Amino acid sequence: MHFLFAWRYFRGKYSFQAIQIIAWVSVFAIALGTAALILILSVSNGFTEIVKGLYADFYADVRITPAQGKFFTISDSTYHLVEKMEGVNAVSRVVENRALIVKNNLQAVVMVKGVDPTYGHINNIRSHLRRGKCEIGDFQNPQLIMGIGVEQHLGLFQSLLGDTLQLFAVNRSGQSINSINQLNTLNALEAGAFSVQQEFDDQYVFTNTTFAQYLFDLAPNQMSAIELSVLPNAEAHVMEQLRNKLGPQFIVKNKFEQNMDLYKIMQMEKWIIFSILALIMMVASFNLVGALTMLVLEKQNDIHVLHAMGARPWDIQKIFLLLSGIMAFMGAFIGGGLASLFCWLQHTFHFIKLGGESFVIDYYPVKPMAEDYIAIILLVIAIALLAGWLPARRAADRLFEKIN
């Protein structure tokens, strides 16, 4: 019954045309705010998914590192135990450390990452190869796959592949290969170049494990980490097995845990944007307060008639609260529908492009998410209650004063 009265007031005609205009202006203000929220959050979700995808391609499903120190020693039996665990798809030894790479008079400090031939099943760097081959060579003939940023620092991006490069690393054993400057100096050939994103492109160089161990003075069973690819839905089980068998001296992390700060920052950015736009919607809802106040004044006679028919002050207040909800949800429905249609068109036809050509895609990505719609619905409910409470209370107070 209360809803029927509220719906009638929303659709009814008024003695002053301005009241109806203000009411619809309030509805479209909510619609505009809702559409802006959905669109901006969807674009934020789209960029977040792209960044997560790039990190997912570069990082292993599971990574084992020592709890203390940079390198650790592991026996062949323990390594084979990890290989044979249920749910494990592929395993690779990883040797990772800083080195200086030099070509003629140009040089760059890079992160050399030595990996096993099985690494192609763990890291999806092959799909981001821009030129050359995804080959790491062997101890006798080491080859390098480097980021395009490293290539640019060394002036190799316009040259043919196969250039000989010098790598310098601090001698950890005290017995230097190069006794003059106490640095290990080795040569390797460039095999290819990849491009994932600038953070990786400017510092990473891949090679084979044995070459990296020799460069950094490590024994054959010494490494920086063990990286694994796991079968779908087996990650939690594999991580639990690893923690139980390896003990507290090793740290086991999944992709999320390896980049926890990044994911937290991206989520924080999203909800900061939501908070700012929600505040703008709250300000826009002042139009709704004004429209409802004028509606209360317009319907004074109806309020008295309802009282004569037995309506109590709370009944009157409930009618105008529902009227506020109808106006707010009408705006949210219009804005949500338009924003959802726009997201579908952008996702399908990519008609709004990004400026420049340096990003992995050339259009604004969009990804509407159910949690965003739920948050917006809760926001609209809060706006409807806040905007409708004072006018509804005023209508009830007027009736209460009339009774007394």
Distances in Å between the Cα of 246 and the Cα atoms of 47, 220, 238, 250, 254 are 37, 20, 12, 6, 16
* Domain span holding position 42: 2-55+262-403
Full pLDDT tens readout for the chain, 404 residues? 666 766 666 666 655 566 677 778 888 888 999 999 999 999 999 998 888 888 888 999 999 999 999 999 989 999 999 999 999 999 999 999 999 999 988 999 999 999 999 999 998 889 899 999 999 999 999 999 999 999 999 988 777 787 889 999 987 665 544 445 567 889 999 999 999 988 899 999 999 999 999 999 999 899 999 999 999 899 999 999 999 999 999 999 999 899 888 888 888 988 899 999 888 888 877 777 777 777 777 767 766 676 667 667 667 778 778 888 888 888 899 999 999 999 999 999 988 888 766 567 788 999 999 999 999 999 988 888 888 777 777 766 655 555 44
CB atoms < 10 A from the CB of 84, how many? 9
CB 192 within 8 A of CB 132: yes
Distance CA 136, CA 117 (A): 8
Point out the domain boundary residue: 220, 255, 290: 255
Helical (H) or strand (E) element with 100: strand 88-103
C-alpha closest to that of 71 among 248, 250, 210? 250
- Residues 289 and 324 occupy one common structural domain: yes
The pLDDT value given to residue 399? 54
The pLDDT value given to residue 356? 62
- Residues 395 and 306 occupy one common structural domain: yes
Point out the domain boundary residue: 198, 222, 255: 255
CA angle, residues 350, 357, 145, in degrees to nearest 5? 115
- Residues 220 and 280 occupy one common structural domain: no
- Residues 123 and 25 occupy one common structural domain: no
The pLDDT value given to residue 176? 45
Q: Write down the residue that tokens 């505009």 correspond to.
A: 32
Distance CA 72, CA 94 (A): 11
The pLDDT value given to residue 185? 87
Distance CA 237, CA 326 (A): 49
CB 308 within 8 A of CB 402: no
Judging by DSSP bridges, how do beta strands 143-147 and 204-208 pair with one another? antiparallel
Distance CA 12, CA 266 (A): 46
Distance CA 61, CA 258 (A): 10
Phi–psi pair at 178, nearest 5 degrees: -110, 100
C-alpha closest to that of 201 among 70, 356, 58, 62? 58
- Residues 172 and 320 occupy one common structural domain: no
C-alpha closest to that of 184 among 206, 143, 214? 214
Token output for 360: 């992995």
Point out the domain boundary residue: 255, 286, 319: 255
- Residues 50 and 90 occupy one common structural domain: no
Judging by DSSP bridges, how do beta strands 143-147 and 222-223 pair with one another? unpaired
CB atoms < 10 A from the CB of 223, how many? 26
- Per the rule left: phi > 0, alpha: psi between -120 and 50, beta: everything else, 217 is left
Please give the biggest Cα pair distance in the chain.
105
What does the CA dihedral 253, 100, 191, 116 come to, rounded to 10 degrees? -30
- Residues 119 and 244 occupy one common structural domain: yes
Token output for 100: 């200086």
Token output for 16: 């002053």
What does the CA dihedral 299, 302, 304, 307 come to, rounded to 10 degrees? -120
- Residues 153 and 79 occupy one common structural domain: yes
CB 186 within 8 A of CB 125: no
Say how many CA atoms lie within 13 Å of 28 toward its Cβ: 6
- Residues 247 and 310 occupy one common structural domain: no
C-alpha closest to that of 167 among 110, 114, 113, 116? 110
- Residues 115 and 145 occupy one common structural domain: yes
- Domain count of the chain? 2
Say how many CA atoms lie within 13 Å of 334 toward its Cβ: 15
- Residues 99 and 246 occupy one common structural domain: yes
The pLDDT value given to residue 177? 47
CB 146 within 8 A of CB 204: yes
Tell me the three state secondary structure of residue 17: helix
Which DSSP state fits 159?
S
- Residues 11 and 134 occupy one common structural domain: no
